[in-house]
Amino acid sequence: MANNVITVTSPLLPPLDEFENLLKDIWDRKWLTNNGHYHQELEKALAEYLGVEYISLFTNGTLPLITALQAMRITGEVITTPYSFVATTHSIWWNGLSPVFVDVDPETGNLDPQRIEEAITPKTTAIMPVHVYGNPCDIEAIQEIADRYGLAVIYDAAHAFNVKMNGRTILDAGDMNTLSFHATKTYNTVEGGALICHDARTKKRIDYLKNFGFAGETTVVAPGINSKMDEIRSAYGLCNLRLIDNAIAARKKIAQKYRTALANIPGITMFKERDNVTYNYSYFPIFVNEAEFGMSRDALYEKMRSQDVLGRRYFYPLISDFAIYRGLPSASKSNLPIASRMAQEVICLPLYAELTDADVDKVLGTILIR
């Protein structure tokens, strides 16, 4: 791609020499996968860094969602958000379960607790919320509903790597939390992911499930999947973990520059930042109100592209608008007015550590110069 094109994201890459040293060690050990040295090291390092006790590495961020539902033996209906990446709903489908879409709160973009309660039926057994853009859900309200109705809560925390509230990780909310380490995410292992749980027995079961259900050399206890992270990507992940604090600090500066510059532009809105949340600045969504801004979201998106600035309409379309899900009763636009409006108005601006001041000014120029 030409140098002057500003992409929406760019992967955090480990220093080649550091990665190469670990590769040489892997070559010496001749152990490439199946809970090897670097797999164990990365699980330990991530548990410590994220402030969680039990974490299992996976080969991507979709299989931990599928495995979490399987591990908890979820049945019937699962309440979830249409305003997310398709993998959230796909994981429900892959377990033969019925997704039930519920609208989001306009202040956060996350599942609206009150609407969750309205959608519960005798078949509901779980809630799968998403901390969209790393913006924390109303964890307490969701837990209260789950406790009252006896529901499991599995968070798709793919965007919430190291997000904290009141100084504490949010990755221990509910029953389980999943992460994605895809190349486009704040922290990446090329492809990768993880499943976080609360106790050693559950982790043991998760580790069986990600290895075909093997509980020993000759024992298979469940129809598990193969979702083991290999040694090469585990080593890559260890190198990247050393860079992540600086990368997030750089993202924060860029996000603040966007926020200040766009604060008083009629027709452009952003999510408020909460004082008690430590964000990871994984995305910078803006919402374009056509009537007030005088230009539609799509027109602005095309204008940005014409100036070599690649925004992303993320999340558009809604998951519930894809042909595979739009026949569900809960997928109707009238059931999801807020999420539908957000999907029509959103653009995520370019955000990654290497963006220069000039890049940021160029991005802002596409919006501010009329």
Ligand X SMILES: *Cc1c(COP(=O)(O)O)cnc(C)c1O
Q: Return the range that interacts with ligand X (CB under 6 A); candidates 58-66, 220-228, 293-301, 303-311.
A: 58-66
Q: Binding to ligand X by residue 138, rule CB under 6 A?
A: no
Distance in angstroms (rounded) separating the CA atoms of residues 108 and 97: 27
Q: Binding to ligand X by residue 87, rule CB under 6 A?
A: yes
Return the residue matching tokens 């990755």.
171
Distance in angstroms (rounded) separating the CA atoms of residues 248 and 282: 8
Runs of H (alpha helix) within the chain: 16-29, 37-50, 63-71, 87-94, 113-119, 139-149, 200-209, 231-241, 244-261, 290-293, 297-306, 337-345, 357-368
Burial 11-34 (b: 16+ CB within 10 A, else e): ebebeeebbeebeeebeeeeeeee
Residues 113-132 that bind ligand X (CB under 6 A): 130
Q: Of 156 and 293, which CB lies nearer to ligand X in the complex structure?
A: 156
Q: Return the range that interacts with ligand X (CB under 6 A); candidates 10-18, 55-63, 291-299, 318-326.
A: 55-63
Q: Which of 38, 54, 83, 85 binds ligand X (CB under 6 A)?
A: 85
Q: Of 62 and 330, which CB lies nearer to ligand X in the complex structure?
A: 62
Q: Which of 56, 67, 81, 84 binds ligand X (CB under 6 A)?
A: 84
Q: Of 36 and 193, which CB lies nearer to ligand X in the complex structure?
A: 193
Q: Binding to ligand X by residue 136, rule CB under 6 A?
A: no
Q: How far is the CB of 91 from ligand X (least distance, A)?
A: 8
Return the residue matching tokens 């094109």.
5
User: Which position's Cβ is nearest ligand X?
Assistant: 61
Phi, psi of 286 (to 5 degrees): -120, 155
Give 181's contacts (C-beta < 8 A, 6+ positions apart): 61, 187, 188, 189, 190, 191, 192, 193, 194, 237
Distance in angstroms (rounded) separating the CA atoms of residues 106 and 111: 9
Residue 108: closest CA among 273, 300, 255, 240: 273
Helix (H, G, I), strand (E, B) or coil at 175: coil
User: What order do you get walking across the sheet with 164-165 strand by strand?
Assistant: 168-169, 164-165, 277-278
Q: Return the range that interacts with ligand X (CB under 6 A); candidates 151-159, 210-218, 323-331, 358-366.
A: 151-159
Confirm if 292 and 269 have CB atoms less than 8 A apart.
no
Provide the mask over 173-202, with x wherever binding to ligand X is found by CB under 6 A and - wherever it is not.
-------x-x----------x---------
**Angle value at C-alpha 249, between 248 and 253, nearest 5 degrees:** 115
Distance in angstroms (rounded) separating the CA atoms of residues 5 and 20: 30
Q: How far is the CB of 181 from ligand X (least distance, A)?
A: 7
Q: How far is the CB of 41 from ligand X (least distance, A)?
A: 21
Give 77: exposed, middle or buried? Use CB within 10 Å, 0-12, 13-18, 19+: buried
Q: Binding to ligand X by residue 312, rule CB under 6 A?
A: no
Q: Of 65 and 360, which CB lies nearer to ligand X in the complex structure?
A: 65
Q: Which of 9, 56, 62, 70 binds ligand X (CB under 6 A)?
A: 62
Q: Binding to ligand X by residue 82, rule CB under 6 A?
A: no
Q: How far is the CB of 205 from ligand X (least distance, A)?
A: 21
Distance in angstroms (rounded) separating the CA atoms of residues 57 and 79: 25
Q: Of 53 and 191, which CB lies nearer to ligand X in the complex structure?
A: 191
Q: Which of 43, 156, 172, 207 binds ligand X (CB under 6 A)?
A: 156
Distance in angstroms (rounded) separating the CA atoms of residues 216 and 58: 19
Q: Binding to ligand X by residue 280, rule CB under 6 A?
A: no
Q: Of 9 and 180, which CB lies nearer to ligand X in the complex structure?
A: 180
Q: Binding to ligand X by residue 67, rule CB under 6 A?
A: no
Q: Which of 56, 60, 110, 278 binds ligand X (CB under 6 A)?
A: 60
Q: Binding to ligand X by residue 339, rule CB under 6 A?
A: no
Q: Of 9 and 366, which CB lies nearer to ligand X in the complex structure?
A: 9
Q: Binding to ligand X by residue 64, rule CB under 6 A?
A: no
Q: Binding to ligand X by residue 240, rule CB under 6 A?
A: no
Which residues of this protein are in contact with ligand X, per CB under 6 A?
A: 60-62, 84-85, 87-88, 130, 156, 158-159, 180, 182, 193
